Amino acid sequence: MLILRLARPGLVGALALVWAGVASATPVIFTFASSASLGGAFASTQTFTPPLPFSGAGDVDEAAGTYTLSLPAFTVVIDVLALTPGAEASVLTTGWSQTGTFAGGAGGAVTSSSAAGTTTCTSLNAFGSLVCGGVLPSVAPWPPTGAAGLFGAAGATINLTDGIGFDGTITVNTANDPNGGQVQSIYRYSLVPEPGTMLLLGMGLIGLASSGRRRA
């Protein structure tokens, strides 16, 4: 068949196009994977709705080192365990997004970020207003890697888990209190190949399989 004859020599070209597709701005499945309070005087628990992990969307250009990422609306109930009977509040976030730059190529430091979105905090008990007092009315941008931010927070890093960027991991550390408490949030993203690129790859694989059957 003509299509198979064309597909077999075109396999290398199809694979090359797939490789090229991940070296430019590519749609991603963006996932908020986990968030945890780490030590300090005001350790807390966080309960998310929808529960973690949940997914949003965006674009990542790993060659240029740029990203635009977004999440659907979500709510987190924060309970500060150090206070009795606890300081509990519910924070609704809408329109969450992050746009910025990072060290391109094999991954690395976040160099800049801007954010959009709003937060609404509701006290759930007598001490909940203490939590709401520390919640900003808008989504904060990710701090650059190594930034000496509030209480010396470590900032954000983007680590790509393999040479072509699938299943990238973004770790964001933000300060919680002056006694070393931090909140560590982990996000993940996977690149979504474009339909045309996948069609070319499929044609190449069909040709390779056909060639193998003829040799057998």
User: What pLDDT digit, counting tens, does each position of 73-129 carry?
Assistant: 999 999 887 766 778 999 999 999 999 998 865 557 888 899 999 999 999 998 899
Parse the chain into domains and list their residue ranges: 1-22+194-216, 23-192
SS3 129: helix
Q: Is 137 exposed, middle or buried (0-12, 13-18, 19+ CB in 10 A)?
A: exposed
Quick one: pLDDT at residue 20? 43
